[in-house]
Amino acid sequence: MIWGAFLLRIWSTRRLALGNYPEDSEGFGEPLSGAAEQGGLADKSPLNPLDVKSEDQKDSAFIHGIVKTETEGQEKILEAAPEIDLSLLQEVAPPKSILLLVLKIATASIAGLGFISAIFFTSQSTGWFDSLNLSNVSKDFSSSNLEIINLQTDLNFYKILSAKAYLDNFSYLGDTYMQKFEIKGSQTADSVEKKDAEEQMAQLRVDLRGKFLAARDKLSGSLAVPLVSQDLKTTTDADNETLFKEKLTAKLTSSSNDLKASEDPEAKRNYKNYLQSINLVANSALKTLLIGTDFDALSDDQLYKLIKNVNALVVNDMSVIQKIKEKRIKWSDIMNELELRTIAVDKYYSDNLYNQLGGIRYSSYDFESDSRKVMISGDTKLFNTTNFTMIADLIDQLNSSPFFKNAEMKSFNKSGATDTGYTASLKLALDLKLPKE
């Protein structure tokens, strides 16, 4: 085959060198004539002999003969592809690399840890594995919340009872302070009583200040504390405060119910304290009053009003007593005031000289609690027939009093003589002023 290709190349080169000649009998020919050359192959490119097509088909026969000669007796031009023994590759191992080994171990470890972490956090944040009785962080949070609520409720329970005790003492001392304050401002009390009342008020102010500040300290803080549950992440402080108030109220109610049927005196006192303390749990008005009051800046009159305001907002024995006192008529003050106003008209009224010198004498008093109206009966005696003038002066005195108002004469009847005196019946009607009037 190699020789055939070699001969083909020589033949092609020779034809290129000699020009386009017709073949002779030996395979080589003379040159073509000029006309034939111009009409035949003159327009063909001689540079690529393979593109030149001869008219004589003997060229193809010639080439075919060469190829046939070279390939005769052979079925294939190329030999069969060699077979590779793959068993040899089994003994060939890739080169060992510590870095590659480390990377493989690290990748496997990260994948394993990621899987374990996913399982762990799923078990801690969900209830998917509750059947396995595994420890669960969300359950631990709930348990912690319950423990926090119970402990804080116990703390609030004793805090509210302490606040009530301070307020009870404040009301008790305040009742005494109000009594002394009224004596100090009374028109019927003498100077000794007023001085003694003023001294006691100064000492009572110190004691009242301590009880007031202690009660404010107990009630001014929040009843709530932060919780750790994920379920309460979006809960506001107001919601937490409401939650702990409800828990405290429930504990006070439960504690009072446990003692309700007891006959023990101590248990009865505690039962009453628990019920009265419930009023303090959500008493925002009392809390505002305590926080907003500057005790040291209070005058005697302002302290008197503060005591009354506190007693109106709390529920205890002293506050109940004060409410009764406010409705109760102080007859001693009323009688003293009536005597003073009568002396202003009849200067001998207190000397019991009615029969000798005449004047004003009262025989009966009547009081209507619903209408706060006072009815006074009596008579007047004068030796100059001016009984009506005396009664008119008495009415003017009573109407100018801080205790009375709307005084009027209901009837008038006069009799007598100059030597024995002129007597006129007296029947007065007047209203009692309210404390704020």
In a shared domain, residues 318 and 335: no
Residue at 386 is within a domain: yes
3-state secondary structure of 365: strand
Percent above pLDDT 90 for the chain: 20
Which of 71, 98, 132 terminates a domain? The answer is: 71
334-344 tens-digit pLDDT: 888 888 899 99
Question: Is residue 120 assigned to a domain?
Answer: no
Domain boundary among 327, 349, 372: 327
**All residues at 6 or more sequence positions from 426 whose CB lies less than 8 Å from its CB, including other chains:** 360, 362, 376, 377, 378, 379, 380, 391, 409
Residues 347 and 322 in one domain: no
Percent of the residues in the chain that have a pLDDT greater than 70, as a whole number: 65
Q: How confident is residue 84, by pLDDT bands cut at 50, 70 and 90?
A: low
CA–CA distance, 106 with 215 (Å, rounded to integer): 65
Average pLDDT over the chain, rounded to whole?
75
Instruction: Please indicate, yes or no, whether residues 313 and 385 belong to a single structural domain of this protein.
Output: no
pLDDT, tens only, 199-257: 999 999 999 999 999 999 999 888 888 876 645 445 677 788 888 999 999 999 999 89
Nearest CA to 429 among 404, 403, 410?
410
Cα–Cα distance, 153 to 139 (Å, whole number): 21
In this predicted structure, what is the pLDDT of residue 44? 45
Does residue 276 share a domain with residue 175? yes
Q: Is the pLDDT confidence value at 292 over 90?
A: yes
Q: Which residues pair with 432 in a beta bridge?
A: 404
CA dihedral sign of residues 387, 388, 390, 391: positive
**Domain-embedded: residue 416:** yes
Give the DSSP letter string of 97-110.
-HHHHHHHHHHHHH
- 389 and 355 share one domain: yes
Contacts of 351 (CB under 8 A, 6+ apart): none
Nearest to 364 by CA among 353, 380, 375: 375
Mean pLDDT, to the nearest integer, of 400-409?
88
Give the neighbor-by-neighbor strand order of the sheet with 421-432.
359-368, 373-382, 421-432, 404-417
Asked if residue 160 is part of any domain, the answer here is: yes
Domain that holds residue 41: 2-71
Strands 404-417 and 359-368: unpaired
Same domain, 298 and 341: no
- Predicted confidence band at 93 (pLDDT cuts at 50, 70, 90)? low
3-state secondary structure of 398: helix
Residues 158/151, Cβ–Cβ less than 8 Å? no
pLDDT above 60 (res 389): yes
* 402 and 265 part of one domain: no
CB-based burial label for 372 (10 Å; 0-12, 13-18, 19+): middle
Number of CB atoms found within 10 A of residue 16's CB: 14
pLDDT band at 382 (very low <50, low <70, confident <90, very high): confident
Q: Is the pLDDT of residue 411 over 80?
A: no
Segment 362-378 mean pLDDT: 83
Q: Please give the tally of structural domains in the chain.
A: 3
- Give domain status of residue 114, yes or no: no
The answer to whether 160 touches 248, Cβ cutoff 8 Å, is yes
Spatial CA neighbour of 219 closest among 288, 295, 318, 309: 288
Beta bridge partners of 366: 375
CATH number of the CATH domain containing 341: 3.30.1360.100
Residue 29's pLDDT is 44
pLDDT: which is higher, 192 or 330:
192
* Six token digits for residue 98: 């510590």
**Can you tell me the distance from the alpha carbon of 152 to that of 131, in angstroms, rounded to the nearest whole number?**
33
Amino acid at 102: V
In-domain check, residue 109: no
Mean pLDDT across the stretch 279-305? 92
Pair (306, 336) in one structural domain: no
Give pLDDT, residue 68: 55
pLDDT above 70 (res 176):
yes
Same domain, 15 and 51: yes
Whether 95 is in a domain gets the answer no
**DSSP H/E element including 17:** helix 2-18
| Mean pLDDT of the 55-69 span | 53
- Of 35, 2, 41, 4, give the one whose Cα is nearest residue 19: 41
**Among 327, 345, 360, which residue terminates a domain?**
327
What's the DSSP call for residue 202? Answer: H
Q: Is the pLDDT of residue 107 over 90?
A: no
The whole-number average pLDDT for the span 40-45 is 44
- Give me the mean pLDDT over the 386-400 stretch: 88
pLDDT at 43: 45
pLDDT at position 211:
94
Query: Does 306 share its domain with 175?
Result: yes
Say if residue 338 is in the same domain as residue 319. Answer: no
Cα separation, 135 vs 352, in Å, equals: 96
381 CB burial (10 A radius; 0-12, 13-18, 19+): buried
Q: Confirm whether 363 is domain-assigned.
A: yes
Tell me whether residue 87 is exposed, middle or buried, using C-beta atoms within 10 angstroms of its C-beta: 0 to 12, 13 to 18, 19 or more: exposed
